[in-house]
Amino acid sequence: MRKKKIKIAVTDDQQLFRRGLISLLKEFDELQIAVEAVNGNNLLEQLKTKHIDVVLLDYEMPGLDGAETTAVLREKYPEIKILILTMHNDEEIILHMVEKGAHGFLLKDYDIEIVVDAIYAVMENGYYFNPAISKTILRNLVENKKIKPSFKKGDELSEREIEILQMICAEFTSKEIAEKLFIAGSTVNSHKESILKKTGSRNVAGMVLFAVKNGLIKE
């Protein structure tokens, strides 16, 4: 009798990427695509009736994103291994996700073989970090002398802050945002300050890039 197949969930909002990835994974007989989801909410909905071993989770998604979904998964389904997929080789994102409890980290321009290696690694060892990413993590550990990095940047923005950040990305000035939201310009400034602090940015350029990297822009 054959070994039991590894049950995979693929979660990504971009249909061509999601279907393409699934198509590539189907070449590997030991893997079984058990769930296909377009975002975190959709994934969690399907997990009510289906069982999986590993989830490939896009970091940048509208709706429940990679970070939020990871938090929920670790809470409700601690046995599921989480592999984060992202376009951005960004130290802050990596550390943030490690802290959230992701089991591995994959860039979207990796080879499919690496993805499959990572799936086996998380099943066998519980985690997967390739050399480049391990280095990032270890350096942070050494610098902070902690097991868990006390990484707080990029922590959840409030509803209001996300709303304002999106308007900033739409090229509105603070004054215009204030008028649209019926609040004082100084209040908008104050929200912008919080956004700067939370995202670890110096100015609007950083805020906008944060929005892009975290899928906060609807297009």
Task: State the residues that interact with its own copies by CB under 8 A.
Answer: 13-17, 19-24, 27, 85, 87-90, 108-112, 115, 168-171, 173, 201-209, 212, 217, 219
Using CA atoms, how far residue 156 sits from 17, 113, 121, 178, in Å, is 27, 33, 30, 22
Least separation in angstroms between CB 66 and its own copies: 16
Q: CA-CA distance, 147 to 95, in Å (whole number)?
A: 12
> Which parts of 102-174 are beta strand (E)?
104-107
196 binds DNA (CB under 7 A): yes
Under the binding rule (CB under 7 A), the answer on residue 87 touching DNA is no
Q: Tell me how many residues contact DNA (CB under 7 A).
A: 25
Q: Which does 191 bind (CB under 5 to 8 A by kind): its own copies, DNA, none?
A: DNA
14 binds, options DNA, its own copies, none, Cβ within 5 to 8 A by partner type: its own copies
Strands (E), 66-187: 81-86, 104-107
User: What one-character-per-residue DSSP string does 41-88 give?
Assistant: HHHHHHHTT---SEEEEESS-SSS-HHHHHHHHHHH-TTSEEEEEES-
Q: Which stretch binds DNA (CB under 7 A): 20-28, 48-56, 123-131, 192-200?
A: 192-200
Q: Which residues bind DNA (CB under 7 A)?
A: 156, 158-161, 173-175, 181, 183-187, 189-194, 196, 202-204, 207
